[in-house]
Structures are given as C-alpha cells and as structure tokens.
Structure 1
Amino acid sequence: MKFLFLVVCAIAALHTRYNGHAAQLRRVWMQDHCHHGICTGIDIGRNDYVILSQMPIAKQLMLTFLNSSIAKIPHLMFDTFPDLQVLRMENCSVEVFEKPQFEGASNLMSLFLGHNLLRDIPKNIFLGADNLHTLHLNHNQIRTLHNASFHALKELQEMSLADNQLAQLPLGVFAPLRKLLDLNLSGNRLSAFPRGIFDRNLNLTRINLSRNRFVAFESELFKLQPRLKLLDLSGNELQDLTLNFAVLESAICNNCDIRKLTVYGYVHDLELRNNSLRELPHIPHAANVSGLDLAHNPLGTLQGNPLRRFTGLQRLNLSSIGMHDLPEDVFKKQAQLKQLDISANSLYNLKFPLFNDLKSLQYFYFQQNNWNCDFLQLLMNSFVKKRDISFMEDTTEPELVDDYVDGVACWYESNKASKKCSGEGLSEAALELAIVRNDIKSFTEIVEKKFIKVYRMLDELKARL
C-alpha cells in the first residue's frame, strides 16, 4: 500500500509541476461503491488523482459503472482490479484518455465506453490492452482518429464507432486489426474511404456504414474480404448502386433513394425498404436470393412476371408498393416461399390460381387493403384457414369499415360494374350476394333513422304532457 501511495503522490507532484497549480489527491474506496460488480455514485473529475483501494481486489472479472460521473479512467484501475475482463463505463461523462491509460490491462477482453464525451483517440493509447476482443466507442463526439489510434489491439474482433462525428479516416487506422470481424461505422459523416483502407482486415465479416453521407459505393474496397457476410448501407444518399461480391449473405440498403440496383455475385438476403425503385433489381444470380424486401417502393402492379428468376425465394415483402392487382402467374416460380407480405396496398380481390404454387406458405400478411368482404371470406376459408397459414389482423377504426373477416377489414360494394378484378377469384353468385347484403344494409340504415325520428317525436310529446 505504501508503494501504491508513493506512486500516486509522484504522479500528482509531476502533474503539479507541469501545470503550475496544486493537484487534488483523492481517495475513492471502491469497496464502498461496488457490490457484485456494480459500482454506483462515483464522482471522478478530470484533474483528480485517485487511490481506488488499499490493496488490489482479486477475482473481480466484470465491473459496470452506473449513475457515476467519471471524466477519465483512473490510471490505477487495472492495478486495483488485476483480473478484470469486462469494463463497462457507459454514460459516465468520460472526456479523455491519458497515458498510460491501460497499463496492466492484459486480462481485459471487453471495453464498453459508449455514450460518453470522448473527442479523440490518441496514438498508442491502448498499449497494455493486448488481449482486448471487444471495443465499443459508440455515441461519443469523436472527430479524429490517427493511424496508430488502435495500435496493440491485435486480438480485437468487434469494434463500434457508431454515432460519432467522423468525416474522414486515415489510411492505416484499421491496419493493426488483423482479426477484426465486426466493424460498425454507422451514424457518422463519412462520404468516402481511402483506397486500401481495409486491405489488412482479411477476416472482416460484418460492416455497418449506415447513416453516413455516401453518394457512391465501391465494392472494390472489400475485394480482399472473402468472408464478408453483412453489408449495411442504409440511410445514405445512394441512387444508382452496384454491388459486386462473390458471396454476401445479407445486403441492407433501406432508406437510400435507390432508383437502380445491380447485384453481381451471390446475395442471399436483400433489404431495399423505402427507396425509389420502379422495377426489380437486376440480379443475374437471382435464383440464390432467399429473402427480398421491397416494401415502400413505387413498383406498382408487377407486370411481366418479374419474379420468374427468383426461384429460391423464402421471404418476400411487397408491402406498400402501390399495387392494385396481382397478375395470375406472378408467383408461379415461388414454390419455396414461406412468408409473403402484400399488406398496405390497394387490392380489392385476386384471382385464386395465383395461390396454387404457394405450397410452402406459412405466413401471409394481407391486411390494410381494400378487400371486398365476400372475396375475403372465400380467401380465408379456401386458402388461409385451410392450410393453417398465419396472418395479421387490421387496426382500422370500426367506423371506417363495413365489416371484418377474422379481424381483417373489408367493404361491401353495391355497384356491380365496379367489380373490375373479379375474374375467377369472385363468383357471380358471390357478387350478387354482396349487392344484396349492401342493399339490406342501406335499407336497415334508413329504418334506423326513421325509428330515431319516431323516438324523438315521442320524447317531445312526453315532455309536453
């Protein structure tokens, strides 16, 4: 303990001599604040020199700080907790790193510093944390990285720099991270990368570039990453996008204003929600796509059988694409389809033969359309319930609909001439029944109004008497 105290005093004396004013020496007894790995109510200022404990605290593998204000990680943190493997100091107001910050942190494997006030990652700051596997620096104010910011992190596998203020990156910033698998750069101000920035990260499998300022994307940046599985480009300003990967499990490009998309190589899952596509992406190897999400694109009614090459589809989302009808043969090649979403369109009724090839369907979402009640009843009885397919109910206000069929809103149509999509889906008898039902409903409403008027007259007469 005497040696530890002398070290702290020496550091304080040096700090005083360097800055020309008295430095405050404080004792923070961790035993008073930490119980079962949870530390609360600790206040450490930027100029504080802290003695954390009278002696090292062994066998403490994880520490989480809650409701604390810690401007910097104390220098002696890892002398106090020599066995520490996981350190969580999230939302603690950490402002700065000071060398030698991670001396003695050879056992540290996971470091979570999200939601703090860091602005810079100094060079060589992680010396001593040679076995770190996970590093989260998300939701800080980081503007600057250096080529040696992550030097010594040769074992790092997961890093998050999400939601910072990075506008550019130096070429060699990720070069030391040879084992990096997962990199999250979402929510920054990046618009381009230096060529070759990922050339040393041969094991990279997941990269998130969403919510940046890219107007163009070059697949060449990842030409040396044969194991890349997930690429997220959502929330950028991409309009004409080309993806060229040998194999990519999932490409996520939501909210990008994409108007034209070409995909070379093999992509298994493609999310394209809320873009400006007026036609399906050009994918030479479309048979390998198992998931396709096209919701909230102005595709309209799918004419010309555009899905004929997507023979391996298992999940298809066509919600809110402005459909008024579905061609009879649109799902002719989708025998493996398990999940289909055609909700939030303007569908009135459909031709039943289009369901003949959907032999594997398990989930069918068709709510929020303009369904005719009689067609909807037939659809439920002869297809959905018969095959025990899961579906979702509507949340439409009751006064805005004519009826519900098993929780799905529908309307009766009195004008027979408006049955434009009936085809084989809705029989003449069903149409006539719909007209009769609507007439009965109209008649009932008239009678109800007359009864209301009669009751009102009786109430007035009773009041006079």
Structure 2
Amino acid sequence: MWLLQPLLLALVVCTVLRSTIGSASGAASPTGGQLRRIWLQDHCTANICTGVEIGRNDYVILSQAPIAKQLMLTFINSSIAKIPHLMFDTFPDLQLLRMENCTLETFEKPQFEGASNLMSLFLGHNRLKDIPKNIFLGADNLATLHLENNLLKVLHNHSFHALKELKDLSLADNQLEQLPLGVFAGLRKLLDLNLAGNRLRALPRGIFDKNLNMTRLSLARNLLATFESELLKLQPRLTLLDISGNILHELTLNFSLLEQVLAHSCDLRRLTVYGVIKELDLHNNSLRELPHIPLASNVTSLDLSQNPLGNLQGNPLRRFTALLRLNLSATNTNELAEGLFKKQTHLQMLDISANTIYSLKITLFDSLKALQYFYFQQNNWNCDFLQLLMSSFVKKRDISFMEDLTAPELVDDYVDGIACWYESDKISKKCDGANSEAALELSIVRNEIKAFTELVEKKFVRVYRMLEEMKLKL
C-alpha cells in the first residue's frame, strides 16, 4: 500500500503540469473553461494582433513573463468574448488598447487591475450589454473611452467610477432608454460626450451639472420629445450641441455662449434661442418662420434649407448682420423681397437653389459685396433675367456657382449651365418651334412633383418613428 503513494503523487504533479502548460485543447479549468496559454508573439506584428480567439469561459495566460515597453495594442479579425484577466499584468506599460469588432460580451472583475498607464480604450462594435459598477477601478488615468455600437441597455451611477481623468466618452448607437442622475457626476474633466443613436426619451434635470468642462454634447437620433431649456445653462464652455433626429416640435435653448447647434430633422415648428450662438443648422424641419434669437447679430451661419418657409415677408434677416453663410434651399420660395439681404454685407455664401423663383430685382444683390459662392440652380428662371443676373452680378464679380442637372427635354434653354424658360409669347430654343408654354407647364409639374416627394419623405420619417416606438413598446 505504501508503494502506491509515490505513484499517486507523480500522477497529480503530471496532471497539474499538463493543465498549466497545455494548449487550446488542455484540461478543463476550475471555472468550466479551458486553461490556455496564448503566445501573442505568434499573432502580433508592429502593435497589430490578428486571428486571436478567446472564449467567454477561457482562462488565458498571454505570455510566460511581462512584456515591457508595449505602448499600443490593436486586435483585428479576432474573436474575443472578454478582455483576458491578466492583460495588464502581461503589458504593464500599455497606453492604448483597441478591441473593436471582436465580439466582446462581458467584463470580469477586477478587469482593469494594473491598468494605471492605460490612457485610451476603444471597445466599439462589440456585444457588451452592461457596464458593471466600479468595473474601471485601476484605470485611473484613462482619458478616452469608446463604447459605441454595443448592446448597452442600462448604466449605473458607478459605471464610470474612478475615471477622474476621462475627457472623451462615446456611448453612441447603443440601446439606452434612460440615464441615472449621477452617472456622469464623477467625470469632472469630461470634454466630449456622445449619446447619439440611443432610445432616450428624456434627461434628468441636473444630469450635466457636474460636467462644467464639457465642450461637445451629442444627443442626436434619440426619442427626445422635450428638451429642458435650463439643462445646459451651467455649461460655460460648451461649443457644440447636436440634438438632430429627435421629435422636437418646439424647442427653447438657454445658455450663455454656444458655437454650434445642430437641430436638423426634428420636425421643428418653432425655435427660440437665448444666448450667443454662432452656427445654427436647422435643415429638414417644419419651420414656417425664422427662429427667434434676440442676439441674432452674433449668428455667422444659418441653414434653413428644406423648411416650408415660403416667401419671407418684411425683412426677417435684419438682425442677422454677421451672417457669412445662409442656406434657403428648398424653402418653397418663389420670390425674394427687394431689401431681404440689405444687412448681409459680410455674406460669403448664399444658397437659394431648389425653389420656384422665376425672376428677381437685380438690386436685391447690391449689398452682397463679399459674396463668393452663390447657388441658384433648380429654379424656374426666366432666360432673359438669368442672362442679366449672370452678366451683371455672377460673372462680373467672379462668384462661384453650380450648374443645373435638369434634363434638357424639360427646359427651354441653359445659361452657363443653369436651366431656364422663355416668356410664354416667345419661341422655345429647345422645342423646335413649339410654344414654350408647354415647357413652363412641365417646369411647374416638375416642381410640384419635387414638393410632393419631399412631403412624402417627411411623412415616411414620421411613420418610421411611430413604428419604432410601437416596436419598443411591444
């Protein structure tokens, strides 16, 4: 009997050694997975690792000894269900880690122990569903964290705990429906926050009150139906706000200074802006009047294209004296008042394309001394007026313009590439002696079809949003 004891001991030692140095087909680990050793030297060249496969239940030893002075690591064409437990023991100097499109499913505690040198972490396009509380303990110097295009549905107040140096956070294109009030409270140095492409319907009041250094905020492509006007009042350094693609019929913004606001494709019908704003993108909305901006003299760029503004009455642009770029394309306009641009002496770009304008008073452009780009194609121009416009204004001042794409069979003539029609009592140059009334009727039909198409597109967008909401409820 005593002779069997050394033999049993030898078998145990053999089993342990075989488990420790086994390959991918080694013995089962205590957690039910495989104890595997992955030699990254066989997969990595110049900081790029390819063909690495790590299962969710695998216990992975990346290398026999720490690999020093490895600052960057990028995994491509790899299937990695989790970040290996010993990643930062193996690479103690690692500063940038990319595991994008790697089928990453979960975090394991303590995931970032020893990651004090890590500064940038890119985990986009994976399958993460949750950011556990305190999971980033150890990554004290992380400045950039990208988690876009995952399956995140819930965040906790301590999901980003310990990230006191974080400046850039992307949670875009996930499935977040709500945010806890204190989720960003610890991120005092946060500059750029991207929440676009989620399912947020509202934001808690005060959610950004601790992020006083924030400069860029994107809330685009969510389901916001209301926007708290005081939400960003405490943000003194905010330069860009993007709330495009939400369902905001009426919107009031209140802040001290903002460089750029993107609020296109929201079905907006009324907008009021308090504070200084420089650039405002409002294309593809339902505005029938210009936004109310008491400090409009600071606006340098205004995009109102694809709104049903119609003919602007009076002089609605009189306060927009600093405009450099103005877009009035596809606004259902058929005439422009003579003094409309009287105050726009600094205007460099003007777009009035895709309307139904036939003729204008040439004196309309007298104040536009700084104009460099003028887009006026896709209108119902009278050929005689168009020749005058080109010779006395566009060509005379060497202003850049864009040619028309209208089919030749639908027009009477072209002037320098811009489609036009002759008076009804004149003979068409393009219709072999036929009366140009037919061409004029064709142009009217063309613009009616264009307006109908734009209306159908807007209705389709609304129906699509309703179907998305019903799908979420189901």
TM-score (ref. length: structure 1) = 0.85
Give yes or no for contact 1:414–1:439 (8 Å, CA) kept in 2. Answer: no
Q: Equivalent residue for 2:150?
A: 140
Gaps of 5+ in 1: 10-14, 416-434, 446-465
Residues 439 and 175 of structure 1: is their aligned pair in 2 closer, same or farther, counting only changes over 3 Å? closer
Match of 2:433 among 426, 435, 442: 442
Q: CA deviation at 1:160?
A: 0.5
1:286 aligns with 2:296: yes
Match of residue 42 from structure 1: 52
Shift of residue 399, structure 1, vs aligned partner: 2.7
Partner of 2:444: none
Aligned to 1:166: 176
Deviation at residue 443 of structure 1 after TM alignment: 6.9
Moved more, 343-352 or 377-386: 377-386
**Corresponding position of 2:188:** 178
Offset from partner CA, 1:250-284 (integer Å, 9 cap, x none): 11111111111111111111111111111111111
Aligned to 1:362: 372
**Contact between 1:413 and 1:438, CA under 8 Å: does it hold in 2?**
no
Q: Can you list the C-alpha shifts for 1:125-176, whole angstroms capped at 9, x where unaligned?
A: 1111111111110110101111110011000001010111111111111111
Q: Which amino acid aligns with 1:260?
A: R
Confirm whether residue 276 of structure 1 aligns to residue 286 of structure 2. Answer: yes
Distance 1:16 1:29, change over 3 A: closer
From 291, 310, 313, the equivalent of 1:303 is 313
Give the alignment of 1:20-419 within 5 angstroms.
Answer: 22-415=32-425
Name the amino acid aligned to 1:177.
L
- What is the distance in 2 between the residues matched to 1:87 and 1:440? 66
Closer, same or farther in 2 for the Cα pair 1:273/1:439, shift >3 Å? closer
Tell me which amino acid in the other structure corresponds to 1:56. P
* CA–CA separation in structure 2 for the residues paired with 1:334 and 1:131: 49
Offset, 1:110: 0.9
Q: Distance in 1 between matches of 2:430 and 2:301?
A: 45
Q: Secondary structure at the match of 1:211?
A: coil
Q: Is the 8 A contact 2:232 2:254 kept in 1?
A: no
Distance, in Å, in 2 between the alignment partners of 1:46 and 1:161 is 23
Question: How far 1:444 sits from its partner (Å)?
Answer: 12
Residue 140 of structure 1 contacts residue 163 of structure 1 at CA under 8 Å; is this kept in 2? Answer: yes
User: 1:317: Cα distance to partner?
Assistant: 0.5
> Any conservation in 2 of the 1:414–1:438 contact (CA below 8 Å)?
no
Q: Cα deviations across residues 215-256 of structure 1 (Å, max 9, x unaligned)?
A: 111132222211111111111111111111111111111111
Q: 2:413·2:430 contact (CA, 8 Å) conserved in 1?
A: no
Inter-partner Cα distance in structure 1 for 2:57 and 2:430: 83
How many angstroms apart in 2 are the aligned matches of 1:70 and 1:412? Answer: 67
Q: CA RMSD in A?
A: 2.2
Q: Which amino acid aligns with 1:69?
A: S
Distance in structure 2 (CA, Å) of the matches to 1:255 and 1:439: 39
TM-score, normalising length: structure 2: 0.84
Q: In 1, are the aligned partners of 2:428 and 2:434 still within 8 Å (CA)?
A: no
What is the CA–CA distance in structure 2 between the aligned matches of 1:438 and 1:397, rounded to whole Å? 15
Structure 1 position 78, deviation (Å): 1.6
Kept in 2: contact 1:269–1:291 (CA 8 A): yes
Q: Are residues 45 and 378 of structure 1, via their aligned partners in 2, closer, same or farther at CA, if it must alter by over 3 Å?
A: same
82 and 443 in structure 1: CA distance in 2 versus 1, 3 angstrom threshold = same
CA distance in 1, matches of 2:430, 2:39: 82
Cα distance in 1 between the residues matched to 2:368 and 2:422:
28
Take 2:428 and 2:198, find their aligned partners in 1: how far apart are those partners?
Answer: 58
Deviates more, 1:351-360 or 1:213-222: 213-222
- For the residues of structure 2 that align with 1:148 and 1:313, how far apart are their CA atoms? 45
Task: Assess if the C-alpha contact under 8 Å between 1:268 and 1:290 holds in 2.
Answer: yes
- Report the Cα distance in structure 1 between the residues aligned to 2:434 and 2:105, rounded to whole angstroms: 74
**Preserved CA contact (<8 Å) 2:427 2:433:** no
Residue pair 1:52, 1:80 contacting (<8 A) in 2 also: yes
Contact 1:115 1:138 in 2 (8 A): yes
Deviation at 1:123, TM superposition (A): 0.6
CA distance in 2, matches of 1:256, 1:437: 43
The percentage of aligned residue pairs carrying the same residue is 72
DSSP 3-state at the match of 2:406: coil
* Structure 2 residue runs without a partner (length 5+): 1-15, 21-27, 437-474
- Matches for 1:414-429 after TM superposition, within 5 Å: 414-415=424-425
Q: Which moved more, 1:79-88 or 1:261-270?
A: 79-88
The count of residues paired between Structure 1 and Structure 2 equals 415
